[in-house]
A and B are shown apart, each in its own frame.
Chain A
């Protein structure tokens, strides 16, 4: 099992085999998490710091739990309310934390590229927990694991990604990952919420849900941010729901065994109908949350193994 990366900043630098390595290990952790004794020492002695410059409950909790189950010392900092507001630059914050010798830094930031920048200034492993509208790699990996478990494979599937593609880092990472694994990707959404030149990403683009969902194996819904609902990008919430909200009727155009996914938190009645979201035969939304912890354990475990090799010889000072 080889995973030759220092950081996990995005899906873009990963190869097919990197992705499979993470997913295979995550599968094991998924079983481990269902067991009675879910505690390992894989990260014992390691310090994990979660820096969230943007509010998050789910992702932060998932990373925290993942670290704890692997035996790391975990600290979470709500950066949105801290010194960054006092004018300290991101790089200075990074250098300050770096001086405390963390092994793993988990970072979320509202600006694209901010996590890349931070990773250049520290000598620990950095995990991108979402940067602006750029990438959210662990989300794409947990989606991939969920798909692989539900469909038995992660290639030659037709995946429809629906909603606000333009502002979504989840969409970018998923397009990247599913593309690398050789799937057919369709993007569905209003043209005002599509990135420029998106057709050059090797995807099909449509603004018709029924056409986009036709024959799909996987229907991936995206969250529509509240601030984008009124007038600016779409006329109204109710028109959006009418044209792009996932209902049983629209879902009927997908394959009969198609699964429904959503990265959460959901806006029931905006991008997804409550009945579809809660339909246990179709919706794998809860499974996604479960796989999230497993994937993050796998990613941190793999990065920490590389860390060990790099700091070899410096250890054991106190032991």
Chain B
């Protein structure tokens, strides 16, 4: 029996929505006791970690991380992604299937699991594509893929345009209880756009899409959920106008949850400034009004999950004119300090933040992690919420350094990360 007692920690409990100084006991990789009980139950030989009042929280469960394997290992390998995750307090990476070679067969999924096993110290759970080649025409072998370990099905940013195909895939997924992750954007309006329509995009002369495209995409998907009863998660809700539809769907008892990206919570369209391609995302950055509405929705719980939407891109694919440059940003390591901006301005409490990054994603995937309760795996992060620093992108563990926070002043640093009680960072 090995025991570790974390003493004098500010325990962030997203279930109870509390933050309080106390102890936490880990026995053989599981959390076994909290508070005074932890102190009492700790054996004499228990390793003691003095947390010095720093925050101890459940590790982040990040839905929607892209790793470059197979096919684009120069952008991000399992080793580099796992190192970045550990440094960012991410204890579970839920991997996207939109790799150069789509993960749409049980064989491809086996490859991913093997590579993750070999090279990753943090947990890796794979998503699989919903349709073959993410082409939106034929559904993948959802049953076999689930047997092989797929925790959800998504075509990522490729919207299944053919509504009938999507309806059938949802119906089939429903029969297996499979989770489908959609990208709610109206594809016709979105086509060719790289900015959100408004004064900024007009001034810069960038092809732009109305924020309404998101609501239209969400409305369609909600209607299909009413038809099929499938379990559905919207990958990124980023606009104010989509929120009432989401709220209604939840109120009507549909099996729907929603996520958003850390970048849409902390940046707006003006950050693109003079065509900075590290700020090119999909969906594009929104207006400040949309950003604030999205932050509020996370605080209220209407938006369930915050993801990094970690998307490594090499210099080659970013050093292009804005319209031609690849979309996406790396964020495994910057998720916490960026999110702390919201905590420091009082928009979110720490407990609300960890509900969105740890507890809710774990619940969505039926994982026992994401919480500080006896019996849960000791997937933990210890962080200093106030430590100020200036981010230098060359220090990131990711192979790709495409972060929009290069040179940004941030506050909040991960000091240590534990997976099943084992220290993987710090």
> Chain A interface (Cβ within 8 Å of chain B)?
12, 89-91, 109, 111-114, 116-117, 131-135, 169, 172, 195-198, 200-201
> With the chains together, A196 CA to B197 CA distance in Å?
6
How many pairs of residues, A versus B, come closer than 8 Å at their CB atoms?
Answer: 68
B321's partner among A113, A133, A169 (CB-CB below 8 A) is A113
Q: Are B275 and A113 in contact (CB under 8 A)?
A: yes
B202's partner among A12, A91, A169, A195 (CB-CB below 8 A) is A195
Q: Are B322 and A113 in contact (CB under 8 A)?
A: yes
> With the chains together, A56 CA to B198 CA distance in Å?
30
Q: Are A116 and B319 in contact (CB under 8 A)?
A: no
Task: Say how far A89's CB is from chain B's closest CB, in angstroms.
Answer: 6
- Whether B251 is near chain A, meaning CB under 8 Å from some CB there, is no
- Whether B320 is near chain A, meaning CB under 8 Å from some CB there, is yes
Instruction: State the majority secondary structure of interface residues on A.
Output: mixed
> With the chains together, A111 CA to B316 CA distance in Å?
17
Q: Are A196 and B275 in contact (CB under 8 A)?
A: no
Task: Say how far A202's CB is from chain B's closest CB, in angstroms.
Answer: 11
Q: Are A133 and B198 in contact (CB under 8 A)?
A: no
- Whether B324 is near chain A, meaning CB under 8 Å from some CB there, is yes
- Whether B274 is near chain A, meaning CB under 8 Å from some CB there, is yes
- Whether B323 is near chain A, meaning CB under 8 Å from some CB there, is yes
A112's partner among B198, B319, B323 (CB-CB below 8 A) is B323
Binds A, one of B18-26, B204-212, B257-265: B204-212
> With the chains together, A116 CA to B275 CA distance in Å?
8
Contacts of A196 in B (CB 8 A): 197-199, 201-202, 208, 210
> With the chains together, A299 CA to B26 CA distance in Å?
71
Contacts of A132 in B (CB 8 A): 205-206, 321, 323
A-B contact pairs, 9 of them (CB 8 A): A91-B320, A109-B321, A112-B321, A132-B205, A196-B197, A196-B201, A196-B202, A198-B202, A201-B203
Q: Which residue of A lies closest to B274 (CB)?
A: A116
> With the chains together, A195 CA to B210 CA distance in Å?
12
A113's partner among B197, B208, B274, B319 (CB-CB below 8 A) is B274
Q: Are A112 and B205 in contact (CB under 8 A)?
A: yes
Contacts of A116 in B (CB 8 A): 274-275
> With the chains together, A91 CA to B325 CA distance in Å?
12
> With the chains together, A283 CA to B31 CA distance in Å?
83
Q: Which residue of A lies closest to B324 (CB)?
A: A111
Q: Mark B96-113, 1 if CB is under 8 A from A, else 0.
A: 000000000000000000
> With the chains together, A116 CA to B210 CA distance in Å?
26
Task: Say how far A83's CB is from chain B's closest CB, in angstroms.
Answer: 15
- For window 318-345 of chain B, which residues contact chain A by CB distance below 8 Å? 319-324
> With the chains together, A89 CA to B321 CA distance in Å?
9
A197's partner among B199, B274, B322 (CB-CB below 8 A) is B199
Q: Are B321 and A114 in contact (CB under 8 A)?
A: yes
Contacts of B322 in A (CB 8 A): 111-113, 117
Task: Say how far B204's CB is from chain A's closest CB, in angstroms.
Answer: 6
Contacts of A90 in B (CB 8 A): 319-321
> With the chains together, A8 CA to B275 CA distance in Å?
16
Q: Are A172 and B319 in contact (CB under 8 A)?
A: no
Q: Are A89 and B205 in contact (CB under 8 A)?
A: no
Q: Which residue of A lies closest to B202 (CB)?
A: A195
Q: Are A112 and B202 in contact (CB under 8 A)?
A: no
Q: A90-B321, A112-B323 are in contact. Are A197 and B275 (CB under 8 A)?
A: no
> With the chains together, A112 CA to B208 CA distance in Å?
12
> With the chains together, A94 CA to B69 CA distance in Å?
32
Q: Which residue of A lies closest to B277 (CB)?
A: A117
> With the chains together, A198 CA to B201 CA distance in Å?
10
- For window 118-135 of chain B, which residues contact chain A by CB distance below 8 Å? none
Q: Which residue of B lies closest to A194 (CB)?
A: B202
Q: Are A111 and B321 in contact (CB under 8 A)?
A: yes
Kindly name the residue among A12, A90, A111, A197 whose own CB sees the greatest number of chain B CB atoms within 10 A.
Answer: A111
